[in-house]
Amino acid sequence: MSNQPASVIFGEQPAVWRDVVRVAREGVQLSLSAGAWERVNSARQAVERFADSGHPYYGINTGLGALCHVVLERNQLQQLSWHTLMSHSCGIGDPLKREQVRAIMCAAVINYSHGCSGVSTAVVEGLIRLLNEDVVPRVPAQGSVGYLSHMAHIGLALIGEGDVEYRGQSMPARRALDAVGMAPVVLGPKDGLSLVNGTPAMTGLACLTLADASRLASWADVIGAMSFEALRGQLDALSPAVIQRKAHKGVQQSGENLRLLLQDSQVLARSQGEHLQDALSLRSMPQVHGACRDQLAHAARQVNAELNSVTDNPMVVKEEEGYRVISQANPHGESVAMACDLLAIAVCEWSSISERRSFRLVTPQANKLPPFLTHGSGVKSGMMIAQYSASSLVADNRRLAQPAVTDNYLTSGLQEDHLSLGESSALKLDKALENAFYVLAIEYLLAAQAFDFIEQPLFGSGTGLAWRQLRERVAFYEEEHSLHLDIRATYEFLRNEKSLAALCRLFPQLNS
């Protein structure tokens, strides 16, 4: 993160997932508009009045879940919020990545900025302070059925409990708060429930996957175009006469990308008419990549809609006669969970068709290249086993493409009997993306190796640049070192947010 990051203000314009990514990954400073603070303060004053009324209001002066009929005294409400964090912070396993925790915290602040939570200003200020000081709570990744546990662990850090990461070190939260001069937050009515409630966890996680999937979409077109050229594909399949007659925006986008990346290719100019029809993994790239792009666009709309939704229960709603407390189900994350599950299918397809192209690049019967892309095949295996690795990762992605949202369990003593499993959807999507980037890295290595075997090459304006970019980092493979080192280096290049910059300057539509 930079020493002097830029800033983003939430509260007036609709929130977008890219701003969450900026806060989570780039260290952009976060603040709320004056209007947002007015909404937060006004709703909080209403909660304080409800807490003092003696009338039961769910989650404000009652127990939670199946204990909603237990009415508490005013002097018990601070204790209720404290106990809520303690009992709900029961996550399991290894911690989330730093950027994932930061994305969740940012999404929570956006949720509170709508002014329907009734959460105390101290909680919102505390979350913003943790983000801007880069104090990152340690949050176990597993154990959520759609909400509760991830945010509970974040809430612990606010009150000086649990562990955090600060300046590259893991330490008790109280020590980090002291280091930045921040007092632990004192919780009041509804604060504990507001901290563990809603969909910020799945929504924050989903924002990061959208950023990764967007980059994957661009690289899939670039690397697929390289394979198309190395395998001497027939350009008619990519022609506007074909693509314009497929009325899907994503198909038209990928088709245009492929044509532009391949333009000026003398390799293809010399090979047109060599055969009538290519294998589907080549000629259906616009249709497959494009369908995946459309699922990405759908997921982005769903996530943006969720960021601009109120996802607390109960909701504290301002009406003409004053505030009203409404119990409802906006914390149900069905929309985000389903979007992540559908995007996981798209990620599987991006990786699946990539592996099929890799297979054709290393298979002598499917190309005019040296067997397994090596000199002296026999004593050398070349790139043969890299394709095996890609196959294994695609098999993993097929399992990860199974939906989480269709699972269901009974929780909270019959109260919560339909669950979204949204965090599970987002986390398995994150894993599928990691696999897919490795699959594309393998295809990239193979396509570049194939380019090295093509005599008197004049490649496409985009594919040639992509080849040269890789060769600046990874040399032609001669089996003098373990191949996994080259795969890892290529993967890291693809994951680098700056790696597409040169290609996008030449082809701006790649990043759209």
Task: Encode pLDDT of 75-101 as tens digits.
Answer: 888 888 999 999 989 999 999 999 999
End-to-end CA distance of the chain: give it in Å, rounded: 25
Domain co-membership, 37 together with 78: yes
Domain co-membership, 280 together with 418: yes
Last residue of a domain, one of 175, 197, 219: 197
Q: How many CA atoms lie within 13 A of 327 on its CB side?
A: 11
Domain co-membership, 187 together with 213: no
Nearest to 337 by CA among 205, 177, 193: 205
Report the b/e string of 138-159 with b at 16+ CB within 10 A: bbbbebbbbbbbbbbbbbbbbb
Nearest to 202 by CA among 94, 93, 111: 111
In angstroms and rounded to an integer, the radius of gyration of the C-alpha atoms of the chain is: 26
Q: What is the pLDDT of residues 239-296, one digit of tens each?
A: 999 999 999 999 999 999 999 999 999 999 999 988 889 999 999 999 999 999 999 9
Q: What is the pLDDT of residues 305-328, one digit of tens each?
A: 999 999 999 999 999 889 999 999
Q: How many domains does the chain have?
A: 2
Residue 226 in domain:
yes
Residue 381 in domain:
yes
Domain co-membership, 179 together with 313: no
Confidence band (pLDDT; 50, 70, 90) for 379? low
Residue 101 in domain:
yes
Domain co-membership, 183 together with 283: no
| Residue 2 in this model has a pLDDT that exceeds 60 | no
Alpha-carbon span 253 to 182, nearest angstrom: 49
Instruction: Outline where 454-482 has alpha helix (H).
Output: 461-471
Last residue of a domain, one of 148, 165, 197: 197
Domain co-membership, 95 together with 189: yes
Domain CATH code at residue 480: 1.20.200.10
Domain co-membership, 274 together with 189: no
Q: Cα-flanking dihedrals φ and ψ of residue 31, to 5°?
A: -150, 165
Domain co-membership, 248 together with 193: no
Instruction: Outline where 185-283 has alpha helix (H).
Output: 191-196, 200-230, 240-243, 249-262, 266-271, 280-283
Tokens describing residue 319: 């009406």
Domain co-membership, 222 together with 119: no
Residue 1 in domain:
no
Q: Which of the residues are catalytic?
A: 58
Last residue of a domain, one of 197, 229, 245: 197
The residue range of the domain holding 55 is 7-197
Residue 2 in domain:
no
Domain co-membership, 306 together with 395: yes
Strand stretches in 244-398, DSSP E: 315-319, 322-326
Residue 131 in domain:
yes
Domain CATH code at residue 48: 1.10.275.10
